[in-house]
Amino acid sequence: MTVVFDSLQWPDDSEAVVQFLVSNEWPFHGRPNLSVGEAASVSVADDDTRAFWILDSDTRVGLIRLIDLADLGTGSPMFDLRIAESHRGRGIGNLAVRWLTDHLFSTYQAAYRIEATTRADNVAMQAVFDRCGYRLEGRFVEAWVNADGTRSDALSYAILRREHPH
């Protein structure tokens, strides 16, 4: 497996982003199945957001969105990680979280901490956070509203710049 991370080119990659988002199920996101319109409204490039393709041998296997970049001096960037269904369970999540952590701390000197949130039943993502040095900071009971109207607990993770090995 040869995984690389490539900056998404907007608007050139807009159709590829929509295709990637609608052709996979996202069971641990607010909407597990996105329509074309919903996928087209996912922000991937603005003053606050940057996005990167995760490539394995030139095949797009994932998408990373770095969010809340505009207020790095006072806030904490977050991220959205999506791995294509056919490529889950291969360790790509670990590589992606390590890469994005390195990228944020090396590119944005004002970044002091990085936050992440996942559903309490997303055991695989919790394991990724643990392996990548993120700390569980809190549990928000029934804070995550699922597409069907049910609620799940949300878990908050973070890593500080001083905790990250350089």
Q: What pLDDT is attached to residue 135? A: 97
The pLDDT score that the predictor gives to residue 30 is: 86
3-state helix, strand, coil in the chain (%, to 5): 25, 35, 40
**In whole numbers, what is the pLDDT of the chain averaged over residues?**
95
Average pLDDT for 148-163:
96
Q: pTM here? A: 0.95
Which 8-state DSSP code applies to residue 24?
Answer: S
pLDDT at 131: 97
Contact 78, 114 (CB under 8 A): yes
Place of tokens 């295709």: 19
* pLDDT above 90 as % of the chain: 92
CB under 8 A, 24+ apart: contacts of 142-150: 144/30, 144/119, 145/30, 146/30, 147/30, 147/31, 147/32, 147/33
* pLDDT of amino acid 133: 97
Per the listing, tokens 């992606």 go with 96
Given a cut of 90, whether residue 111 has pLDDT beyond it is yes
8 Å CB contact between 93 and 81: yes
- Compute the C-alpha angle 14/126/25, nearest 5°: 35
Distance of CA 53 to the CA centre of its chain: 11
Is 158:116 a contact under the CB 8 Å cutoff?
A: yes
Average of per-residue pLDDT across 43-54:
95
